[in-house]
Structure 1
């Protein structure tokens, strides 16, 4: 029953993701780097969460339950940055389609494993055929919904230039496995956010902690990869004001993640967010929102969303 009541919140959280992606893409175009755009987004999110935490509390800001909690729960932000950086690394290696499909696969698999074995302090959920079937059905639906985004001849658009024969196939296979691993990092972040939210007695404070650690990790990544923190043309006049709001959207998503994971489990949280994310992405593509080029959305993609929704219902039963 709780899963059904919180389902709209999970879907809403997922809907934030394609909007945030479009916003950060616009910012990245002005800055000249997706990583530096994410760094700005993290900074804005951190300031928003700090302000909200100081206003709403509860106090003390770090209760004893958090001080005596497991050290690994503070690494939620690190796993989030790993997932973010992974997408940047995967795109030139796998192409846009597999860069979406592989992490989604990893998210769902890891979410299922976390629930089954009660990893990261989550409540263990018994293995049931209906839940397994729901997970498989949801994964199939998401893959159908995503696979229609680009034509088949573009599936290996990045891999085709990496050589030929066994070397190219092996490279693609290895990067595909890496993509699944990056997706698993996202599911782990969701579980850690739930654990952190319980320890800090607030999803808002959990978000603040995640953004603080994540910002430090991302700043290190930018220093190594970009070797500059320049904002490029972003501060100049003529740029839309909304391109600076990605951090606010991200903060909202992280808060919802923390709350949902603690109440309905990691696996179901991941699936609900993916439902909103993929469905929202199709809407953004279909209508060309926020400066995103309009793309045709096939009927099969809508069918994939419906299949995924049925799978999620089975998973929740």
Structure 2
């Protein structure tokens, strides 16, 4: 009996030590998202075009994923099976184009992050994702069981809207800036069903790595085609970024996905979601504050809006705390 108590006691102590460390690691991992936004925003600023910036970001990520996929025979075979699986139509067609949502997020980074500031961009993006997640749960998009609206979920959605209003208030007299803030908000709304599509493709092909690669191919193809047409029409001139770090947007996104997939096993979805959201918002404010060269000013309302977005996300997640979630559902773009 004493031995059993010692075992249980040591396990409890170990959990008390490990969980805070995992939460801290998740907060740090969450900071990769605003870093990606900052990189893509600066690429968009240098190239003068959000579309071109998104092509660079997706292209760099696609190169990394191609290397990973080609390195193993099993993933090569799983990837080669995609055409036949699409032709079989076992999976609704919209699941195969979930990469469009990631394309919208990355496009909005290149088009607006450098103007809005990383903190404002991430807050409006997260707010859109909170509302999108609630709607997807309500209508059963990508979830096995529909979850009706309740007080907590409605409050979370309201706080998401309040957070968006707060972070754009300092720029209310600049209509162009306010209009740009709509881009990440819309991207967040679209991103709600992307994990469901990517998870479905992963189940169909038998590999999340293949699903992520396909996600990058779809996004890169759409963005690349749009850029090619615009270049041919003379609407834009494209050139590759001059600095090496400007190619890190795609790899940073991939690293974030990989770390979240590892950390969810020790934390579960609720803690992971809260910690990663906190990391995104804390990292956003720190980037704008510590790197004035980016040209973004951190206002008190910006910080307040970020806090409201975090609270809203936390409240909206509470009803889903008991839901069993797989690693596949964490992939965003």
TM-score of the two chains, using structure 1 as the length reference: 0.69
What CA RMSD, in Å, does the superposition of the two structures yield over aligned residues? 4.5
What is residue 201 of structure 1 aligned with on the other side?
206
- Give the paired residue count: 287
User: 1:272-300 CA deviation, whole Å, 9 max, x = no partner?
Assistant: 654433232112122228x4346345363
What is residue 110 of structure 1 aligned with on the other side?
132
Partner residue of 1:80 out of 102, 110, 115: 102
Q: Provide closer, same or farther for how the CA distance between residues 56 and 278 of structure 1 changes in structure 2, counting only shifts above 3 A.
A: farther
What is residue 127 of structure 1 aligned with on the other side?
148
Contact 2:78-2:206 at 8 Å conserved across structures: no
User: 1:222-241 CA deviation, whole Å, 9 max, x = no partner?
Assistant: 13445456215x34xxx3x2
Deviation larger for 208-217 or 61-70: 61-70
User: 1:172-193 CA deviation, whole Å, 9 max, x = no partner?
Assistant: 7xx9988755432111222212
Q: Provide closer, same or farther for how the CA distance between residues 218 and 253 of structure 1 changes in structure 2, counting only shifts above 3 A.
A: farther
1:53 matches 2:58: no
Gaps of 5+ in 2: 1-18, 322-333
Contact 2:123-2:167 at 8 Å conserved across structures: no
SS in structure 2 at match of 1:184: helix
Q: Provide closer, same or farther for how the CA distance between residues 29 and 303 of structure 1 changes in structure 2, counting only shifts above 3 A.
A: closer
Q: Provide closer, same or farther for how the CA distance between residues 34 and 314 of structure 1 changes in structure 2, counting only shifts above 3 A.
A: same
Contact 2:54-2:103 at 8 Å conserved across structures: no
User: 1:132-170 CA deviation, whole Å, 9 max, x = no partner?
Assistant: 5156237616843x65556x3522512599xxxxxxxxx
What is residue 224 of structure 2 aligned with on the other side?
219
What is residue 23 of structure 1 aligned with on the other side?
39
Q: Provide closer, same or farther for how the CA distance between residues 156 and 193 of structure 1 changes in structure 2, counting only shifts above 3 A.
A: farther
In 2, the alpha carbon distance for the partners of 1:157 and 1:260 equals 41
In 2, the alpha carbon distance for the partners of 1:184 and 1:305 equals 15
Gaps of 5+ in 1: 162-171
Q: Provide closer, same or farther for how the CA distance between residues 257 and 212 of structure 1 changes in structure 2, counting only shifts above 3 A.
A: farther
Instruction: Please state how far the C-alpha of 1:207 moved relative to its aligned partner.
Output: 0.9
SS in structure 1 at match of 2:280: helix
What is residue 231 of structure 1 aligned with on the other side?
239
What is residue 197 of structure 2 aligned with on the other side?
192
What is residue 157 of structure 1 aligned with on the other side?
174
What is residue 159 of structure 2 aligned with on the other side?
140
In 1, the alpha carbon distance for the partners of 2:69 and 2:154 equals 36
1:33 matches 2:49: yes
In 2, the alpha carbon distance for the partners of 1:278 and 1:197 equals 29
In 1, the alpha carbon distance for the partners of 2:53 and 2:140 equals 35
Instruction: Please state how far the C-alpha of 1:45 moved relative to its aligned partner.
Output: 0.4
TM-score of the two chains, using structure 2 as the length reference: 0.66
SS in structure 2 at match of 1:231: coil
Instruction: Please state how far the C-alpha of 1:217 moved relative to its aligned partner.
Output: 0.1
Instruction: Please state how far the C-alpha of 1:46 moved relative to its aligned partner.
Output: 0.5
Q: Provide closer, same or farther for how the CA distance between residues 181 and 270 of structure 1 changes in structure 2, counting only shifts above 3 A.
A: farther
- Higher relative CO (CA 8 A, sep ≥ 6), structure 1 or 2? 1
In 2, the alpha carbon distance for the partners of 1:46 and 1:313 equals 31
Q: Provide closer, same or farther for how the CA distance between residues 15 and 177 of structure 1 changes in structure 2, counting only shifts above 3 A.
A: closer
Partner residue of 1:242 out of 241, 245, 259: 245
